[in-house]
Amino acid sequence: MAQKTVLVVYAHQSSASFNSAVRDVTVQELTQQGYRVIVSDLYTMNFKASATQDDIIGDLKNPELFKYGEETMHAWKEGRLSDDIVAEQCKVMEAELVIFQFPMYWFSVPAIMKGWMDRVLTQGFAFSLKNMYDKGVFKDKKAMLTFSTAATQKMFQPDGINGDINITLWPLQNGTLHFCGFQVLAPQIFWSPAHCPPGVRTAMLQGWQSRLKGLLAEKPLTFAPSELFDLSFQGGFSLWPKVKAEWESQSYGITTGHHLGKLLPPDNQTKAPPADDNQDKAS
């Protein structure tokens, strides 16, 4: 059997950080299991975060009105993307699993990682209107978020000052990873390690190491499948009326994003549901 590959897209400035220790555990454990582990250390690489015309080699299709998405799609088709983008796209293609590891900044990823997403996940390569969500380009690959927070777990509860972490994660996990077709594994969240004693940080690392032993066999998070939607411009890419009617009797919405004005399904973006969960109606 061919050796399986894991790509870690990593964003932290310090080699003495907790995130650095997490990365080392990831590399060591997965390598020991026989995986080939590639790390894109974005700060060390000085990866360019801004999506600009410099990402395209050669003439633009429409120099009068530069549209980054359209121009990079044409450049991808014609082999005219910049070398740094092509190198990262090759890593994605090789990987069975992509791990995005970072400290949470402003309820999202650091700018350098957002730039990686903006520039590497180009139209055509990572998605199209015909190839998105569960029909996406990367439907046979897995991806996940592994990140640290400054806030405590209680601050990210539904009654916490930061609000429900499931809502915070929806744009990244659904709008980026699942949109490109990835099967999204539950995130690994390291709650406020900077404010924890050394023993707690050690326990966090040990917990991650234990999870890594069976990570690629985990069941992914549940998202609403595309057949629930009228995928036409006339239908507005909205839920079919019959689907909405079927969910009228349910206590919870379908997903964090497709809540239908109901209670959010518990832990929809943080835990894979058990096989007998109501969410199986959407799987």
Confidence of residue 275 (pLDDT cuts 50, 70, 90): low
What pLDDT, in 10s, does the model give residues 178-204?
999 999 999 999 999 999 999 999 999
Q: Above 90 in pLDDT, residue 212?
A: yes
Q: In the predicted model, what is the mean pLDDT of residues 144-160?
A: 97
Percent residues over pLDDT 90 in the chain: 92
Average pLDDT, the chain: 94
Q: Above 60 in pLDDT, residue 93?
A: yes
- Residue 270 burial (CB count, 10 A): 17
Q: How many angstroms separate the CA atoms of 38 and 94, rounded?
A: 10
Q: According to the model, what pLDDT value does residue 3 have?
A: 87
Helices (H), the chain: 18-32, 42-45, 68-78, 83-94, 111-120, 165-172, 198-212, 241-246
Q: Above 80 in pLDDT, residue 235?
A: yes
- List, in sequence order, every beta strand (DSSP E) within the chain: 5-10, 36-41, 97-103, 142-148, 183-184, 188-190
Q: In the predicted model, what is the mean pLDDT of residues 112-119?
A: 98
Q: According to the model, what pLDDT value does residue 278 have?
A: 45
User: 261 in the Ramachandran plot: left (φ > 0), alpha (ψ -120 to 50) or beta?
Assistant: left
Structural domains of the chain sorted by starting position, each given as residue range(s) with its CATH number in brackets: 5-217 (3.40.50.360), 222-283 (no CATH)
What pLDDT, in 10s, does the model give residues 24-47?
999 999 999 999 999 999 999 999
Min mean pLDDT across 65-69, 106-110, 232-236, 271-275 is at: 271-275
Q: According to the model, what pLDDT value does residue 232 have?
A: 86
